[in-house]
Structure 1
Amino acid sequence: MSAVEIVGRGFLARHLSALAGAHEDVTVLAAGVSSTAVASPDALAREAALVRDTARRCGAEGRTLVFLSTASQALYGTCDTPAGEESAAPVTPYGRHKLDLERRLAQDLADSDASWLVLRLSHVVGSHQRPHQLLPALVAQIASGEVRVFAGAHRDLVDVADVVACLDALLASGTRREVLNVAAGTPYAVEDIVRGVERQLGRTARWDVVDAGDRGGRTTVRVDRLRHHVGDHAPAGGPAYLERLLVRYTASYRPAALV
């Protein structure tokens, strides 16, 4: 028996490393393409090879492979009626790529002693994110005095601490061979997110409001299946959840000049 293995060295891998000693014979694939904007065939092919090779190794060693997919608009499209896990309808190369990897993974491990678990994550927020990601980018722009706001765009934000807690609870309960949305279940208007960051920084920026274009739309995903498995570990969603996220993490990216 061996403990949780985390494949990757980025933001999610850093937080998921808290589970390293908690569960046996589990590999969490926290590497590969994470931006919904990526459409490069080379980048997608590299991730596909990584998933294939990791699945082959897990199959040979009898390990459970946890694959981190997406619960974003790229996979579900624009939908006001909450979309369940069975409702995937990819609208971008990234969304089609992630769904294809989910299906290949299940097929590759179907007849082995290994197992799998797919977590479809919405837009994860936490400390140690890269500058281009949503929260650090907004903090930097607002601190500079001007922020670009994509009118009508929405993002379902989920606390990285909740992602870790949900995975911990799922593994502990023996949940396997399932696809689960891990999200707040609330699509937050980008305008509301920007106002929240402004409140936390105590600073009002000039808004450069632009048409959201393909960044727009509103995607609502169902999280009842997740709540069935993990109960109170599931993200709460709603306005208060957004406020707690921003209170918790905005300071992580506050420039020294504003402290």
Structure 2
Amino acid sequence: MPRSLGVKARLGGRWRLAAALSLLLLAASLASFRLGYSLGYERGAESAAPPGSCSVLYIDMLGEDYPNPGLASLVASTLEGAGCSVTVIPASAFTIHSLSLLKYYDVVIFRGHTGWANYLNPETGEVSSVIGLFTGERYEPGKYRDLQARGLVVEGIPLARPVGYNKSYIAVTQQYIEKYVDVKEGSVYVLSTCFAGSRILAGILLQKGASLVIGWRGNVTVYHADKTLARLVQLYAETRDWAEAARRLPLDLKVDPATGATLQVYASQPQR
């Protein structure tokens, strides 16, 4: 029986976030918020667009706690074989500043986790559900103080965790993505994480200019998400079309048998 990990954080008593993990399970569940390897990646890349007509950014946020170097190698080699240039950012290098890189890439593949948060507006008393995306950046109380005070950056803390596991991470809310993250026009997002197949996150990315968002609706296991991602990348190499690759996935990969999570595909509406 795998031991489960959750993620919780508190934001002045105003946030509640869901993100649960296990050795095989990456599941998001309600928790509270508190204020608040590398293949060719260089920190100086923030200021320069990567070469190649098909540029891919692979963010392996889970690489430290749930390493799968074979998957990273497969993604890189398969997509390079399909004519793409691939940059892989490991968990330790994936900070809030890394989000500024998204606007340079045709395809962004995110292997990580997200969670739901309930935000209580202190002025109106209204509660709204928002989604949070976790970075690999360790949380520090004084870091991004202004963003934390505004509910844009929060702390992700494991709930149930092995003895000695005391990591916590910086997470950004959907409001941060709306305000500060730009994407490349016509880009594709493959979000191998829980709840990333929600209409909320997909809608934000599409509104910003993405053409396609592929992600999981519900809790998905790490094992199943990794297996599906590997096949999706292989199918893209065969078809050179992400939507078609997702369509060709067998049904047993589109649905996680352990949790019932389903793979969703959202496309931008063509202008008339």
TM-score interval w.r.t. the shorter chain? 0.3 to 0.5
Q: TM-score, normalised by structure 2?
A: 0.33
Q: TM-score, normalised by structure 1?
A: 0.34
Structure having the larger proportion of residues in helix: 1
Structure having the larger proportion of residues in strand: 2
Greater C-alpha radius of gyration = 1
